Homo-oligomer: A and B are copies of this chain.
């Protein structure tokens, strides 16, 4: 392909952050292009996805995936073009979802690649039609199982996942209340996404506001935040409520436990009395649902029932700022880094 650069820029983990990451935790490097071996393809990054889970990978110690090693490129999903192929099933020029990470080029043996079908905008493969979309689909429909007439509360309501959760809950006939950061996001959630209400998570009287917004209590709480939003939700959970848990962004930067009292008994006594199911899940376990998800979501998008918003960051070198902003809620919609044109 004509756009092949002479070097591979990559952003590596320079230091493990304590608390919120800062610019010094990342380092931009320039290294020679990797050379594909037998059975491998060379991939060129077009879009890089930024997601809250990346904060966890920067820590040492076990999580659901190994941590990024010091000096290694940050991990991440990409939309990539196959530049060279020594793999029988992939041809140069094909567009794929890959796990190249924060760099211009990467190699793959093909096992992690998903071909991208027809799509109005390539970056959608990282958002509404990608991992965040599947996260919303599995979490809300399979775990949350919302019934018509029930009340669904969605944290991070205008984020890549939350915005889809709320719209799917509306499609299912639920009352939907979002929680988001600030008036502009809340206006978008109600005016464009069609939520019934949306509350600012920074409001000091969030618990009272939420109580007023859910006159019949809460049947499903889609959790990706933790912190003050969870604290406001717990007293309002109905008997038989479900909590799909896919993230805890308010707590990702913790380097020690918050001050007391210990609220664990409050949470668990509520889960017991009200027979609530709380289920942690990671989208990687649920790729068996991908084809059902794509069929439904493509239909909803075409029919105008699901809308979405992308927050684009220009240039690989700005990915660190993008992740730092995402962890503070500065983004408005799905965050992708535009690394190069296809």
Binding site for B on A (CB under 8 A): 56, 62-64, 226, 230, 239, 245-248, 251, 254, 256-269, 271-282, 285
Contact = CB atoms under 8 A, between A and B. Distances in A.
Nearest to A256: B261
Nearest to A272: B280
Contacts of A281: 275
Contacts of A277: 277-280
B275 A285 contact: yes
Nearest to A261: B257
Given A263-B262, A264-B263, A264-B264, A269 B251 contact: yes
A246 B248 CA distance: 25
Given A275-B285, A279-B278, A281-B275, A262 B268 contact: no
13 contacts: A56-B273, A62-B273, A64-B239, A230-B268, A245-B268, A245-B272, A251-B269, A260-B262, A268-B280, A272-B282, A275-B282, A275-B285, A278-B278
A292 B87 CA distance: 55
Nearest to A223: B268
A248 B259 CA distance: 23
Contact of A226 (B62, B64, B263, B268): B268
Given A226-B265, A265-B251, A258 B257 contact: no
Contacts of A264: 226, 230, 262-264, 267
A273 B246 CA distance: 9
Contacts of A279: 271, 275-278
Name, among A276, A279, A282, A285, the residue most crowded by chain B CB atoms within 10 Å (CB to CB).
A279
A63 B251 CA distance: 30
B263 A64 contact: no
A27 B268 CA distance: 32
Contacts of A245: 268, 271-272
A176 B277 CA distance: 24
B274 A64 contact: yes
Contacts of A267: 264, 267
Contact of A64 (B256, B273, B285): B273
B285 A269 contact: no
Contacts of A259: 260-262
Contacts of A275: 64, 279-282, 285
A9 B276 CA distance: 38
Nearest to A267: B264
Given A251-B269, A257-B262, A280 B285 contact: no
Nearest to A259: B260
A272 B247 contact: yes
A245 B274 CA distance: 11
Contacts of A276: 279-280
Name, among A64, A239, A269, the residue most crowded by chain B CB atoms within 10 Å (CB to CB).
A269
A254 to B, nearest CB: 6
Name, among A277, A278, A280, A282, the residue most crowded by chain B CB atoms within 10 Å (CB to CB).
A280
